[in-house]
Amino acid sequence: MGLRVLTSPPVSAMSIARWILSGDGITEVGLHNPSAPLGTLEVLISAAQNEQLDHCGTNYNIERASLPNVKLAFDRWLTEIKQHPNNIGMIYFCGHGITGTRNEQILLLDDHGESENRPFETGSFDLSNTIRALCRKVEAPLYVFVDACRTYADEFGMAIGSNPDALLHDGVRTKYINTGLTHISSATDNKSAYGSSNEISRFTAALRMALTGYCGDGKPGTRDWFVNGHALSMAMPKLLDLMNRESRNSEPQLCNPYTAGTVDAPLHVINHLPIVKVEIELSPEQHCLNSHYEIRHSSDQSIAAITGGKTKGVWKAETPKGIYEVKICSQHDQEHYKNCSEHLDPPLFRLPLEVQP
């Protein structure tokens, strides 16, 4: 497996890169895929000061995310991916992006605009046509995560001859050979992506959550769960919506998952049940203070029941995927507002309940 990570600013991508190598160092083991172990990792960032990445006690200096460096890193990564069809390739980008004159997504790098006369001469590339070419060059399954805006920029659209080049060239008549593509963008057409320079962006936070156990398709006959294209495509819009609601910025952000091909090879494998975030919203809110909930697995008694409530606001809990008995009642158990069986499916289960007077 090979990965390439770019970012501007570095907070989000450094978070992804560090998790890939070692997880959080306590409960996570980082990227895990027995069928395609991590082989190469290319990391380039834009930062005011030099950044380093520690792995196994060695600090590695990280190159600047300039167009010349990106081209060299991309070529190295491509050489590795093409060596075997069972490889898995991943590209992650966090930074600035715009939409081109033909609806292609343009990503802006650290050296964008260095030439005042030719601002798109360097520091940007055409991601859309890069992916189209990759699917004609690479059999191996590919994952592409892009945390960037897709808005239109007049200074680009109105410029003469400003279209940036792709990182890879191939003809449109060349045979499409890629076996599986998962491409998830952090914004839909003409929409923005949001994040602070000092915090992990919403999309990347959702991606980290998806990769660390909040989604997965079961592998038949085993206890393994595949974090693959299908699982990620189902989970990411819901997790991003969660990040929208938790963000101080009221502007919503929508992601755009796309999958193609006949093979859905897992990017990451987890050996525990995927986790579900549970949200219970009782209204009118005054009933929250004298009510409580109990969530109990329908058949597996080894999973401890979850209880809570008696607080204002949305009640939140987490539990493994499964079918549960959900009971919500008044403080003295004299009145059941709800008592039913629910399928709690990752990444998020929301239960709005209006109490009738």
What pLDDT digit, counting tens, does each position of 107-160 carry? 999 888 787 777 777 889 999 999 999 999 999 999 999 999 999 877 666 565
Q: How far apart are CA 129 and CA 168, in angstroms?
A: 8
Q: Minimum mean pLDDT among 13-22, 86-95, 125-134, 346-355: which range?
A: 13-22
> 330, 290 in Cβ contact below 8 A?
yes
Question: What's the pLDDT tens digit per position in 201-246?
Answer: 999 999 999 999 999 999 988 999 999 999 999 999 999 999 998 8
For residue 98, the cross-strand partners are 106, 151
Per-residue model confidence (pLDDT) at position 197: 65
Per-residue model confidence (pLDDT) at position 334: 61
Per-residue model confidence (pLDDT) at position 25: 46
Per-residue model confidence (pLDDT) at position 8: 52
- At 49, the pLDDT band (50, 70, 90 cuts) reads low
Amino acid at 146: V
Alpha-helical regions (H) of the chain = 11-22, 67-81, 127-137, 154-157, 202-211, 229-246
- The answer to pTM > 0.95 is no
Question: What's the pLDDT tens digit per position in 263-286?
Answer: 999 999 999 999 999 999 999 888
What is the residue-wise DSSP string for 85-116? Answer: TT--EEEEEESEEEE-TTS-EEEE-TTTT-SS
- pLDDT for 41 beyond 70: yes
Backbone angles phi, psi at 308, to 5 degrees: 175, -170
Backbone angles phi, psi at 58, to 5 degrees: -115, 135
